[in-house]
Structures are given as C-alpha cells and as structure tokens.
Amino acid sequence: MSVHIAVDVGGTQLRAASYLPESLNPLKLDKIPTQGPDGSPLDRLKKLIASVIPENDTVSAIGVAAPGAVNPYQGIIHTAPNIPGWTNLALGPDLQSFFDTPVYIGNDANMAALAEWQYGAGRGHHHLIYITVSTGIGTGVIIDDRLLLGVSGLATEMGHVTVMMDGPMCGCGLRGHIEAFASGTAIAKYVEEELAKGIQSILPERTRLSAKDVAAAAYQGDQLSITAFQRAGRVLGIGLANYLHIFNPSIIIIGGGVSRSGEILFGPMRASLEENVLSSQYLDGLTLTSSTLGDEVGLLGALALARSLPGN
Ligand SMILES: [Zn+2]
C-alpha cells in the first residue's frame, strides 16, 4: 500500500504519522522533543519520519506543517522561532531527496485552517478564517475554496496587523500589532507590568505568569486579570472585524491554547467584533466557533496538504 505522511514541526515537539488513503486514523504516530542529545533537529525529524513509515509500504507524499515564515512554493523555512539553525532552511528539497517522494510544506496556521476546512468545524464552508491564539497569533484564510498564500506564501498574518501606532512591542520587533495585545505572552506580560506598578491582584508579583494563570485568576473575580482579557478580546474583535471587511467569510474558527480560556476572552471579543463591524450584513449567518481538532490540527493540516498534491 501507499501511505501519506503528515509531519507537525513545533518549537518543542516533532510529530509524524502515516495514513492510508481516505483515512484519518494514523497507522503509526510518534512524537519526540525537537531538540535532544542525539543529532540536530533536522536529523531527528528524518529519523522520526522514517520510523512512522510502515514496513513494506511506500510513501506517496509528505506534508509538513512548520512554524514561522515559510515559503510553500520553494519548501524553504525562512525563520522558525525556537529551532536553532533553521534560517532559510530548504527543508522541502532536503526531505524530498532524502525520502525520494514529493514533499509540500506550509505554515502551521495555514495548515490548521486547511485541517478545519477539510476535516473539522469548517467543513462545507467556502470562505473561512482560522485564528490561533497561543504564545503568538497565527491565521489562515480560505476564500472560494482556496487557501490564500500570496506571492511568497506569507499572506494573512493577523497577528502582525497594526492596531496602535507606537503601541506595545510585538514579539516580531515592531510595535502596536494585535499579537502585542492579545497573545498569551502579551496577556501575561500586561499583568506582570501592571503588578509592578502596584495594581492590586490576587496574582503574585515578580513571578513569571502564563495566560493560564491569568485566566484562572479572572474566573476567581480578579479585576486586573479580567481587564487583561477584556483588552485582549477587544483587540481580537477589532482584528476580526477588519478581516470580515477584507474577506467576508461565513465562518471564523478560533484555536490555540488561549482560546480555551472561554467566555472571559470570547465575551469581550464578540462585543468588540459587533461594535467595530461596518454593517450587520457581515454578521448575518456568520458562525464564530472554536476549533474542533485540538492538538491534531497541525498533523491533519499536513495530511490535507499531502493529499492535495497532484496525483495524490
Ligand atoms: Zn508583530
């Protein structure tokens, strides 16, 4: 038999799985830390992929979901946050010659959009926006049943849309981006800075906080934590309203760890979206929902990509 291989590259974990045609249940699935004592992340990735190819089976295509700036046309990873040495890495051509099979690479948020559209909450929709809110913010947009990539594959980065001139510093080094207000990192950083100013809270000062800590405190009624999520939700709502004006989708799917914070984020986000949208027609029939694929979203997106290759 011939199998498809799906690969999900993360800063902390590498995952790979093999699938028979038409199936979403992996024949073999394995995951390992991205960095370890025995070899570079690239060597580890190759070993991992080889380990999930079933004996006596051939590989018809490999799909890879990769973090950071990816050129899907050339299979090049320009920058991969948290993976040392992965700068302008020709991962696609390298894997293609190593495994002697077609390889296609996509940005992880784009792959998540593909997965939700093909296999998840977005099935049956032709115009879809996927947004992941975790340590950073990523987006993928499908319009007229096609993933929007742009000339270099770098299209639709909602996280780096500017919402405030000279605003807070974003992880990318520029200021006032949506990610600088609404990512998990930004939510925690805002609370840490307010605590340092002496604002009252049940959260401890001078410790490294996570968005999860802030969410838990918000649900206990902590005003500072509630304010942090209101601020994040408000900015996300503005970003989504902008995207509705540009793309006019029928569904918005929200994934990523911070989206599991629930109503403390979704409440202000919905209110802000409704407040900032140009006319109610954009909201007519619009579905706003959570991702249904969870941790599998990257692998399933890579699988959808492998299957979308000509002849697969
Ligand atoms: Zn940015």
What residue ranges of the chain have pLDDT lower than 50?
none
In this prediction, residue 207 carries a pLDDT of 87
pTM for the complete prediction?
A: 0.93
- What is the Å distance from ligand 1's center to 268 Cα? 22
- What is the Å distance from ligand 1's center to 173 Cα? 6
- What is the Å distance from ligand 1's center to 104 Cα? 26
Q: How far is CA 103 from the centre of its chain?
A: 20
- What is the Å distance from ligand 1's center to 131 Cα? 15
In this prediction, residue 70 carries a pLDDT of 95
- What is the Å distance from ligand 1's center to 93 Cα? 29
The per-residue pLDDT for range 144-203, each reduced to its tens digit, is: 999 999 999 999 999 999 999 999 999 899 999 999 999 999 999 999 999 999 999 999
According to DSSP, residue 282 is labeled: G
Rounded to whole angstroms, the Cα distance separating 5 from 193 reads: 44
In this prediction, residue 81 carries a pLDDT of 80
Measured in degrees and rounded to the nearest 5, phi and psi for residue 85 equal 90, -10
The per-residue pLDDT for range 198-217, each reduced to its tens digit, is: 999 999 988 899 999 999 99
In this prediction, residue 312 carries a pLDDT of 56
Residue reference for tokens 């994934």: 255
What are the angstrom distances between the C-alpha of 41 and each of 44, 82, 214? 5, 11, 33
